[in-house]
Amino acid sequence: MAWRKGLGIAALVGAAVQELAARRYYRTTSGPDDFVDTDEANAWTPGWHEILAPAEWAALRASPVYRGIDVPHGDGSAVVLVRGFLTRGVYLRPLYGWLARIGYRPRFADVGWNADCWQVSTDRVLAEVEAASAETGRPVHLVGHSLGGILSRAAAAHAPEAVASVATLGTPFRGLRLNPALRATAWVMRASIHHRRPAVPPGCATLTCGCDAVQSQTRPLPAGLPQLAIAGRHDGVTDWRYCLDPERIPSHTVAASHFGITLNARTYELLAAHLATRAGERIEGQPSKISSGSSAETT
């Protein structure tokens, strides 16, 4: 029993240290100065927040939004979901099921563990977009979480005529400001890419790479393409300020962790309104656009 108590105390101390480090980090640093900051740096985010995802899932299940109440419903369009780095699709199953319940045709992009060259993964997303568009006969919505949002933006830049809209959840598309633990994992992934693909450029899987997938991140997507960016104010993985572009597209924050953003009722509410928008047109009494800005939201 003593060792359990010791572990509990150590966990509490660790969480407190992370909170203090995060407060200092956000107090002493600013957000992105350019559209994209290509250099990488540590973001001293409170990683322990990620263990709160089960509680966020429980709160979502209790929300009427999750049951499709008081949100605009879909028209049968396809929505391609692109998962984050080193993940499988299981954590996006609640979002997948909800999209199906409110009238969309969701599908996962086949990106494996999403730990490959970004150009290779973007090509896989494009293949999914092509298949979904052929199946439905209309443009396809893209919803990407974390790294999946970067791939979604790259796919939309490559084939904007096939994409109805793009939404990013906790995606640091304006600069890779990551928790040190994740940056170490990403370094191992890059070493693996070079081991398997010796010809890849040195900057592969960073924002300095010269591939089309990365270069598309250095400039805004077409203004006429409906976009949405949502960040979690309690993100334990990335600096949430690099997940927003309030000057150009609707940008919002929600009270969620990095993974909890995919289980957040406010995220779902914003997504429903976004997906019901077609190139700024008014749909069934819904506003023509979601109000921009990055004001904090609560669950």
- Quick one: which H or E segment has residue 141? strand 140-145
The pLDDT of residue 223: 84
Q: How many helices (H) and strands (E) does the chain have?
A: 8, 8
> 């509410």: which residue's tokens?
269
Average pLDDT over residues 137-153: 97
Q: What is the pLDDT of residues 210-252, one digit of tens each?
A: 899 999 999 999 988 999 999 999 999 999 999 999 999 999 9
Q: How far apart are CA 169 and CA 84, in angstroms?
A: 10
Q: What is the pLDDT of residues 64-76, one digit of tens each?
A: 999 999 999 999 9
What region, left, alpha or beta, does residue 50 occupy, with left being phi > 0 and alpha being psi -120 to 50 degrees? alpha
Q: How confident is the model at residue 186 (pLDDT cuts 50, 70, 90)?
A: confident
CB of 57 within 8 A of CB of 263?
yes
How far from the centroid of its chain's Cα atoms is residue 64's Cα? Answer: 23
**Residue of higher predicted confidence among 180 and 296:** 180
What region, left, alpha or beta, does residue 84 occupy, with left being phi > 0 and alpha being psi -120 to 50 degrees? beta
Q: How confident is the model at residue 194 (pLDDT cuts 50, 70, 90)?
A: low
CATH of 2-24+36-275, one of 3.30.420.40, 3.40.50.1820, 3.40.50.300, 3.40.1400.10: 3.40.50.1820
Domain ranges of the chain: 2-24+36-275
Question: Rounded to two decimals, what is the model's pTM?
Answer: 0.89
